[in-house]
Amino acid sequence: MTALALRDRLGKAFGALGPGVLIAFTVAAASMFISEHYNAPVMLMALLLGMAFNFLSEDNRCAAGIQFTSSRLLKIGVACLGVRVTFDQIMSVGAVPLISIPIFIVLTIALGALLARLMDRPIGFGFLTGGAVAICGASAALALSAVLPKTEVSQRNTLFTVIAVTTLSTLAMIAYPIIFTNLGFSDVQSGILIGATIHDVAQVVGAGYAISDEAGNVATYVKMMRVAMLPVVIIAFSLYLRRGTDETAKAPMPWFAISFGIVLLVNSLGILPGFAVEAIRALSQWLLVAAIAALGMKTSMKAMLSLGGKHIGMVVLETLFLLVMAIGVVALFIPE
């Protein structure tokens, strides 16, 4: 391809995608400003602001860029999440979390699938909410939605899950430190509980360090163990769907999840210099916030409100189930 042909091709691509992408990142910048200055959850702000610009998804000048941001750029952002955790951090928390965290994840996702059957919800919604609750909240919901089958309500389900887990994480950030302290748990025990139960990373950090520096450090490491399970769960879902019906058998292999694992491995080996780690971390944050803003633009508030109370009940029950399991394990196996 000649330089002139490449320039023309890039120009056409920017003309088609540029307006929508720029709008999504503008909303992301506004969301980050609000989050930093008013201590509001950045993902929730991006989602709500994006929904306010829902009309842009119907504009032919913006639609392609919004779709590109909510799909392709989302996957790149998920892959970059691997820079947040290393194997040394995972191993530092001891054997009990290493054994129990994968079990918590499997059982919570299984509960999501069961509740979906009992409440007459799509099985994919059960996987989505279970995975978001079990792993890392909004980020997991976005990543899992990329491999689950696309239906008429799949985007609404994704956005509902983001809202639900972000709201519950914020409430947990306030309530859990008080509950765990009053129950007599030590700083280490409380850190494990916070890291194992609160959905989003930011709220885990806030709740942990609200107790003590030790609790905050432990909570962060345990949470990173859950994040490290994200590519495993995504690949497992993808393989499961490829064995399904003709509609789901075409589910692609999630290379972005494999990329997540590669980034995690490279980061664990200490190959990346500090400035590169920070740059990738910032890139991941920007891409994920822009992606959720773009998803918000593609969904109306009226459509969200039509989902009903069963959706809320599923996420709340999964959250309580995870909390009860974690308290039981810590009380039985983690010394004070």
Q: pLDDT tens digits for 255-272? A: 777 888 888 889 888 888
- How many domains, in total, are found in the chain? 1
Burial of 269 (0-12, 13-18, 19+ CB in 10 A): exposed
Cα gap 65→79, rounded to integer Å: 20
What integer pLDDT is reported at residue 249 of this predicted model?
Answer: 40
Please name the residues in contact with 191: beta carbons below 8 A apart, sequence gap of 6 or more: 208, 211, 214, 215, 216, 217, 218, 219, 222
In a domain, 318, yes or no: yes
The answer as to whether 92 is a domain residue is yes
Res. 318: pLDDT tops 70: yes
Residue 80 has pLDDT above 80, yes or no: yes
Percentage of residues in the chain having pLDDT higher than 90: 31
Q: Kindly list the distances between the CA atom of residue 64 and the CA atoms of 12, 29, 141, 264, 316, in Å, as whole numbers in the listed order.
A: 12, 20, 22, 31, 35
Answer for the pair 158, 137: CB distance below 8 angstroms, yes or no.
Answer: no
Q: What is the mean pLDDT of the chain?
A: 84
Count of other CB atoms within 10 angstroms of residue 24: 31
- Whether pLDDT at 230 is above 90: no
Decide if 263 is inside a domain: yes
| Position 24 in a domain | no
Amino acid at 76: I
Q: Is residue 7 part of a domain?
A: no
Is 31 among the domain residues? Answer: no
- Mean pLDDT of all residues in 45-58: 85
Residue written as tokens 């075409």? Answer: 250
Residue 14 lies in a domain: no
Neighbours of 70 (CB within 10 A): 27
CA distance 97 to 208: 16
Q: Which domain holds residue 311?
A: 39-333
Q: Per-residue pLDDT averaged across 149-172, rounded? A: 83
The per-residue pLDDT for 198 is 94
Asked whether residue 102 is domain-assigned, the answer is yes
Residue 39 is given by DSSP the state -
pLDDT in tens, 175-201: 999 999 999 999 989 999 999 999 987
